[in-house]
Amino acid sequence: MTEPGRRKRKNPILRTRVPLLPPSGRSRVALGLTAAAALGRFELQVCGDCGTVQYPPREACHRCLSLALTWQPQSGAGELISETVLHHSHDVYFRDHLPWHLGMVRLDAGPTVIAHLLPASGAAPCRVRIVARLDKAGQAALVAVPDAHNISERAPDMANDTHMRELICDPRQRKVLVSDGKSPVGQALAKALVSAGAEIVWVGCAEPWKRPPGLDELNRLDSVTLVPLDVTSSDSVKSLGAELGAKVDILVNTAEVHRPYGIAARYGVEAARSEMDVNYLGLLRLAQEFGPVMRSRGADGQSSATAWVNILSVYALSNFPTHGTYSASKAAAYSLAQCLRAEMQPAGVRVMNVFPGPIDDEWNQELPPPKLTAQALARAVVKGLQEGVEDLFPGEVAQEWLARWRENPKVLERELAMSR
């Protein structure tokens, strides 16, 4: 028998299942709900003229026909007024996941929505909270959770539910590869993943004969195994991909080279070439070797490949001239990560891009606070996996940059140019 809390192993004799996805068709206006869910938020349309909160999304206000609709965050609080269990479906995805528990929730904001129900939500009538999560097709799905729990407390409940586990990427009982363990960020992430219940954490080490601070302590953890991996070497990536590619459930790419200064302050292209070789081409090498096999395992049920995490930088949104070539390499990696997301989506493997602000390390010493610690970044990444988000902006600086970039990218570009 399978031990409680431990996932069922895949039978190697059975044929590999083809990945099936939930229905993904959405109108253009409904994609606003998906865009908010990708950031871990639940948003609904609010009329700017009469103040009506409406669902489902429409082109105009259903009450006053105004076109002044904006997406605004909602608390999700409401009352479960009815529930049912789906036992039959003509859709091939839901047919393989029956029975499915659904409920109707009247939100305190006004609208009534149909949502997936967790077993712990309780029987109608009762108070629940609606959260938006991305399903396997990358579209928003509404989930009703117990009102007494906040998101972080509720995450383990979702991870235990066989259906809801597919809406998140909780590291618990999963096998994870962290591409680079020599940096404080890589080490902090490995420890955070172990604390979150990861079954195995493989940590890449490009130069095993060097022992950077903290690596020996990391290697003493029972769930951690150091493996040779140099993302600048196609042979190294290919060798590890052949060994572990069919086992990795979550890949976290932490490998990076970061050098300050822009164009005129540093002669030659050596530093910029190193940044591109690791930050951009390193991601490409990993994607070519691990991407196809992870994509082929998107239908392995509880043992399926589930997520790919890229540690990028908020500098990828708009170039920070004092870290100009580094910003350019991260912008290139961001563009490549979007391509990777499009290619992994048909298998239901989520690509999560992380855009931290300046990290408190040796390459950001001249920048003023606030700066993000490696431990804070690691906690944010684990929480993002537990909540199933697509894009993550941890830290005060990242949140500020994101808001300014959304408001007017050209103004942000001018402000950064004047801050040199």
Does residue 128 carry a pLDDT above 80? yes
Q: Shortest CA distance to 397 belongs to which of 416, 418, 414, 384?
A: 416
The Cα–Cα gap between 203 and 182 comes to 9
pLDDT digits over 131-186, tens only?
Answer: 999 888 888 889 998 876 444 444 445 566 666 777 788 899 899 999 999 999 99
Instruction: Say which DSSP state 221 is in.
Output: S
Are the C-beta atoms of residues 42 and 131 closer than 8 Å to each other?
Answer: yes
Q: How much is the pTM? A: 0.85
Confidence class of residue 10 from pLDDT cuts 50, 70 and 90? Answer: low
Classify the C-alpha dihedral 329-397-192-362 as positive or negative: positive
pLDDT for the residue numbered 156: 43
Q: 234-282: per-residue pLDDT in tens?
A: 999 999 999 999 999 999 999 999 998 888 877 889 999 999 999 999 9
- Which of the residue ranges 4-8, 197-201, 404-408 would you say has the lowest mean pLDDT? 4-8
In which order are the strands placed within the sheet that holds 69-73?
A: 53-54, 43-47, 69-73
Q: pLDDT value at position 153?
A: 42
Q: How confident is the model at residue 391 (pLDDT cuts 50, 70, 90)?
A: very high
Name the pairing type of β-strands 77-86 and 126-134.
antiparallel
Tokens 């030659």 appear where? 268
Report all structural domains of the chain as residue ranges with CATH numbers, in order of start.
31-167 (no CATH), 175-418 (3.40.50.720)
- Identify the weakest region by mean pLDDT among 141-155, 280-294, 298-312, 320-334: 141-155
pLDDT category at 348 given cuts 50, 70, 90 is confident
Distances in Å between the Cα of 216 and the Cα atoms of 209, 212, 236, 373 are: 12, 8, 22, 21
The encoded tokens of residue 57 equal: 């999304």
Per-residue pLDDT, averaged over 39-43, amounts to: 91
